[in-house]
Structure 1
Amino acid sequence: MTTNHLINRRSFLRYAGLGSTALLLGLPEPSTATQIHNSFEPDLWIELTAAPNSAALRPGLATNVWSYRARVLKGDPASVQVLHGSYLGPTLHVQRGQKLRIDFLNQLDQASNVHWHGLHVPDTMDGHPRFAIGPGERYRYEFEVRNRAGTYWYHPHPHGQTGEQVYFGLAGLLLVSDDEEQVLQLPRGEYDVPIIIQDRSFDDNNQFRYLSGTGPAAAASSAFGARQALGGMMGGGGMMSGGMMTSMMGFFGDTILVNGRSDASLEVARHPYRLRILNGSNSRIYKLAWQDGRPLIVIGTDGGLLERPVHKNYVMLAPAERIELWADFSNDDVGTKITLMSLAFEGAMRGMMGGGMGRMMGTSSMAAGAQFPMFMIEVTRESNGSLELPEQLSKITWLPVEDAVNRTAPRTFRITMGHMQWGFNGRTFEMTAVAPDELVKLNTTEVWEFVNDSGMMAMAHPIHVHDQQFQVLERRNGKGSDDVRDGYVDQGWKDTVLVMPGERVKLLMRFSDYTGLYLYHCHMLEHEDFGLMRNYRIVA
């Protein structure tokens, strides 16, 4: 990745809020798809639109993308910040306890919706595919922010098209603050930096290449064709296309984008920084490390701050996972350059397909598990202030494992492959289907175990459970995890967990507040789109 375009944190972000009640006068009438709750009085009201866009990502032709744009209809204009020079969605800033209304307008040519990844919300507000809306329609999301302070994100979730919609630009961060976080002496303002890491591929005309198509329209056709081909093969005929192969394996690009830019780097002061990093890639797993060998100091994961900082030589970051780093440049001389790397690792693709064909996904230098630089930081100035790394970050009330109603017999979800189709316990996704062993009781605590032993097709799977922040109770490592096992950060609250080939991972979670239909799935988006997703239902 090139690093010739240095930008500082002030230009990384800019405010985009338009806080004026006058804007309400121009708000179109809701369609029948909009969910109306007249008794709900929002503290923050945002209009969020998904629409075609273009971005100058390389010299020459602009790249066709899809983008979220937002405007504040009620509340603090600073609640919305745009990533400077990026086509990615704006960063939304909210407070715990705040009532949030977001009117989503779909200006794409296909169905879409919004999933609030990691948030604890009612099922009708969670972005389940059954609530996807068509072109020109609106959907109103209304919920109270109940999560603790942390780095969350939002993205589309229509069945069969999540991968392409995220790939072409529909993703953004949602940062939650609370009282506990506010009293800590953490880096703030220009020293609090959001970072979204993604991998993409370009054709000769600077258009994104995805599956076997280029550009949003062609890729959509390619994805549809791959799904049709899969159906044909399951029926006993047809050959596996390149697009279908990628869908089976996961997509791996040959260019790293940081905040939607291939030329991004960060100018910093001699001061501690809070780096909030999201792996926004469709399928690529990163093994994060500083090039000069200094430790990564982890202060937070998916569900917010840890109890205490954790020092790691490297950190594994799977798709959809977030990590918060304390990066202190106080002792670095002005002019120092530090590179964040993804180190080489084995084991993410252990089966027959992964051993040889896994290395074919992407270019030889950017195959799954390859080593490459991701992001350059340069120390360019002095700082007048200083901060000390807190010994205690947060107080976490852990779930007592003794409260689990199935402690001695965990609910088990085995990742399976049959007839060229991913599944859980042999089942693939159906829009509203729920098996008897996918029903859970409201106000109960359970242990869920995910088992990844899918034989000759064994490969890594990041598992995401909607509506939940869970604890990782136990991880039984497989043979393929030697290169990665020291990089897990399982100490905090999580909503996405990496399960490597041969691993068994037990999670502890509590089902509270809401009944309804929610999802659990692999967050390799091509796997999700091709069936590695199921519903679970919370019942009273």
Structure 2
Amino acid sequence: MTHIDYKRRQFLQYAALGTLATTLPGFALAESRGLNQTPNNLFKADVEIALTAQTADIPILPGAHTHVFKYHGKLLKGPQTALKELPGYLGPILNFEQGQKVRIYFYNQLPEPCVTHWHGMHVPQVMDGHPMYAIYRGEQYVYEFEVKNPTGTNWYHSHTHELTATQVYQGLAGLITISDEAERKLDLPSGEFDIPLVIQDRSFTNGNQLRYILNRHQRMRGFLGDTILVNGQEISAIPVKTRAYRMRILNGSNSRIYKLGWEDGTPMIAIGTDGGLLEKPETLPYIMLAPAERVELWVDFSGRKPGSDLMLQNLAYQGSASHRGGGMGGGMHQDMGRMDMMDGASAQNEVISIAKFHIIEQISDSPKLPVELVPMRRLTTQDISNPDKTVPIAIGMRHMAFQLNGKTFDMQGHTELEKIPVNSVQKIKIYHDNRGMGGGMRGGRGGMGMMMAMPHPIHLHGQQFQILSRTQINQGNVYDTIKDGFINSGWKDTALVMPGEEIEIIKPFKDFTGLFLYHCHNLEHEDMGMMRNFFVS
């Protein structure tokens, strides 16, 4: 791994903060180097939580405990339901209500810098977890924000520059759920019938310690582990009853893209995406879920026999040109969630078992799937503030470095193209810029071109967006294996852009000014600099 001079970075960060104080509207520089170290007495919090990033030894696999990074949470104020611990290495689930004012005291007890991003939440710049605000061991950062999001499933995770991949991999992540009045009127499955599923792939040593070793090929592709964990642990089976469940699924992996489907071919019923519930349920044969994406499913076990099982799988697909021509790791082990390896990981075109649901009890009482969920105003080109302008996000590579709009990450940097007026609605086009990638790119052949023709999950901080269109320039058998798994009708904060694909989105930039990131959520790509700022002013 690259050596990082933390003290030099810290000096540069705070020097830059002094500049930002004079250039960013509404940016208030703390009198000392400790920005947001103390709470704002004028902010009357409904919920207060102490959240500490620390090391821990957690039982994950049979045998020795695993040394991890872990968020430890403690509820200081608010309803007891606001914080729910999970048994694995993940942080507690934070359960918020729309309109609540939340204060989180974040403490760093790690031996390296850390900052926490509230992924999917609509919050001010200084509360968003930009890497410029990373704090050191023994320091505190106070996050204060009002929950503006509607009902849905978001998450929080480390966002430390050049350390995001390793810190999330070691455990720094957790779910956020949001409830509102519209959701309560639907009477969706709740309590024990509301199941979170955080899916992550990890690799372990013989002594049960996390293994994270990257060669050049793995850095360019992203880390793929050989063991599937659910909710931060290896689970043999999840007990369920013969009734309907709400399942909140997060792809918390560093780079693995899942093609989720049921083993017996049962269609999947989606009721929500990244940004909340859909207008109405959608039925799909499978669902593509890239790193950071969420989907909420309605799963009805009615009619199944007690003692039977239903397996959630990652189905085979060929969506990445770098994986064409066959698999990389042979077959599956008999144990659920374990994959054979050749270069340290399974390819993404193998069937992988994720979670087994075991029916334990027959009951007759079950809610019915609503015909309508929540009203959603579809944004159109008529809502765009400047119809003649399309903001580009060009995915490219030069000098063996992934880039966005021809540049890599600059902590406070932005270009004219990245300046966005506050309280505007923008059309954004995300596409692959093939210039400089080598002659093999167009034909899908050749080492450099083949490697770079790969999917990228692009995440935009700030408000959620809607997808206007998907256009696949190079239609063919590869795209056919994944094209029916996209949900394009809901609010999103992450969009999976396949090789040869162009996506147009429409995104509001309301309420808050400052620097808001956009980046690839393949975390190895992010740490290599595939990240940029929008400057909203």
For the aligned pair, the TM-score class normalised by the smaller chain equals: 0.7 to 0.9
Measured after TM superposition, the shift of residue 382 of structure 1 is: 2.1
What amino acid maps onto 2:95 in structure 1? H
**Which of these residues, 222, 226, 229, is aligned with residue 257 of structure 1?**
229
**Which of these residues, 134, 137, 140, is aligned with residue 138 of structure 1?**
140
Corresponding residue of 1:292: 264
Counterpart Cα distance in 2 of 1:481 and 1:526: 24
What amino acid maps onto 1:136 in structure 2? G
Corresponding residue of 1:186: 188
**Which of these residues, 376, 388, 402, is aligned with residue 422 of structure 1?**
402
**Which of these residues, 460, 463, 486, is aligned with residue 465 of structure 1?**
460
Counterpart Cα distance in 1 of 2:530 and 2:328: 22
Measured after TM superposition, the shift of residue 355 of structure 1 is: 4.5
Structure 1: 5+ residue runs without aligned partners? 1-29, 213-241
What amino acid maps onto 2:487 in structure 1? V
Corresponding residue of 2:521: 523
Measured after TM superposition, the shift of residue 452 of structure 1 is: 2.2
**Which of these residues, 238, 254, 275, is aligned with residue 266 of structure 1?**
238
Tell me the alpha carbon deviations over residues 451-472 of structure 1, each in whole angstroms, 9 at most, x when there is no partner: 0254311110001000120000
**Which of these residues, 385, 394, 410, is aligned with residue 374 of structure 2?**
394
Q: Does 1:115 align with 2:109?
A: no
CA 409–32 in structure 1, closer or farther in 2 if over 3 Å, else same: closer
Counterpart Cα distance in 2 of 1:295 and 1:183: 26
Tell me the alpha carbon deviations over residues 481-537 of structure 1, each in whole angstroms, 9 at most, x when there is no partner: 221110001110000010001000001011111111110000000000001100011
Counterpart Cα distance in 1 of 2:93 and 2:473: 37
What amino acid maps onto 2:172 in structure 1? L
Measured after TM superposition, the shift of residue 358 of structure 1 is: 8.9
**Which of these residues, 466, 489, 492, is aligned with residue 490 of structure 2?**
492
CA 132–40 in structure 1, closer or farther in 2 if over 3 Å, else same: same
Q: Say if 2:318 and 2:324, in contact at 8 Å, map to a contact too.
A: no
Tell me the alpha carbon deviations over residues 369-400 of structure 1, each in whole angstroms, 9 at most, x when there is no partner: 32111110011102252211000001012223
Q: Say if 1:187 and 1:272, in contact at 8 Å, map to a contact too.
A: yes
Corresponding residue of 2:201: 199
TM-score in terms of structure 2 length = 0.86
Measured after TM superposition, the shift of residue 205 of structure 1 is: 1.5
What amino acid maps onto 1:505 in structure 2? I
What amino acid maps onto 1:305 in structure 2? L
Q: Does 1:342 align with 2:299?
A: no
Q: Say if 1:252 and 1:362, in contact at 8 Å, map to a contact too.
A: no
Aligned to 1:183, what secondary structure does the other structure show? helix
Q: Say if 2:327 and 2:349, in contact at 8 Å, map to a contact too.
A: no
Aligned to 1:297, what secondary structure does the other structure show? strand
Corresponding residue of 2:18: none
Q: Does 1:54 align with 2:49?
A: no
Aligned to 1:526, what secondary structure does the other structure show? helix
CA 356–167 in structure 1, closer or farther in 2 if over 3 Å, else same: farther
Corresponding residue of 1:155: 157
**Mean CA deviation greater in 114-123 or 35-44:** 35-44
What amino acid maps onto 2:44 in structure 1? E
Q: Does 1:86 align with 2:88?
A: yes
Tell me the alpha carbon deviations over residues 80-100 of structure 1, each in whole angstroms, 9 at most, x when there is no partner: 1011x2111100000000000
Q: Say if 1:258 and 1:264, in contact at 8 Å, map to a contact too.
A: no
**Mean CA deviation greater in 183-192 or 256-265:** 256-265
CA 121–380 in structure 1, closer or farther in 2 if over 3 Å, else same: same
Q: Tell me the matched-pair count.
A: 476
Counterpart Cα distance in 1 of 2:148 and 2:50: 21
Corresponding residue of 1:316: 288
Corresponding residue of 2:354: 374
What amino acid maps onto 1:411 in structure 2? V
What amino acid maps onto 1:407 in structure 2? P
What amino acid maps onto 2:381 in structure 1? V
Structure 2: 5+ residue runs without aligned partners? 1-31, 330-338, 435-440, 442-448
Aligned to 2:89, what secondary structure does the other structure show? coil
Measured after TM superposition, the shift of residue 357 of structure 1 is: 11
Q: Say if 1:211 and 1:247, in contact at 8 Å, map to a contact too.
A: no
What amino acid maps onto 2:72 in structure 1? R
What amino acid maps onto 1:475 in structure 2? R
Corresponding residue of 2:7: none
Counterpart Cα distance in 1 of 2:40 and 2:326: 51
Q: Say if 1:346 and 1:483, in contact at 8 Å, map to a contact too.
A: yes
Q: Cα RMSD over matched residues?
A: 1.8
Q: Does 1:325 align with 2:297?
A: yes
Counterpart Cα distance in 2 of 1:407 and 1:525: 33
CA 419–195 in structure 1, closer or farther in 2 if over 3 Å, else same: same
Corresponding residue of 1:475: 470
Counterpart Cα distance in 2 of 1:41 and 1:303: 26
Counterpart Cα distance in 2 of 1:278 and 1:362: 24
Q: Say if 1:258 and 1:375, in contact at 8 Å, map to a contact too.
A: yes
Identity of aligned residues (%): 46
Counterpart Cα distance in 2 of 1:258 and 1:104: 25
Q: Say if 1:123 and 1:517, in contact at 8 Å, map to a contact too.
A: yes
Tell me the alpha carbon deviations over residues 3-40 of structure 1, each in whole angstroms, 9 at most, x when there is no partner: xxxxxxxxxxxxxxxxxxxxxxxxxxx99341542210
Q: Say if 2:327 and 2:350, in contact at 8 Å, map to a contact too.
A: no
Counterpart Cα distance in 1 of 2:378 and 2:422: 18
**Mean CA deviation greater in 325-334 or 406-415:** 406-415
Tell me the alpha carbon deviations over residues 164-188 of structure 1, each in whole angstroms, 9 at most, x when there is no partner: 0000001000000000001102101
Counterpart Cα distance in 1 of 2:251 and 2:287: 12
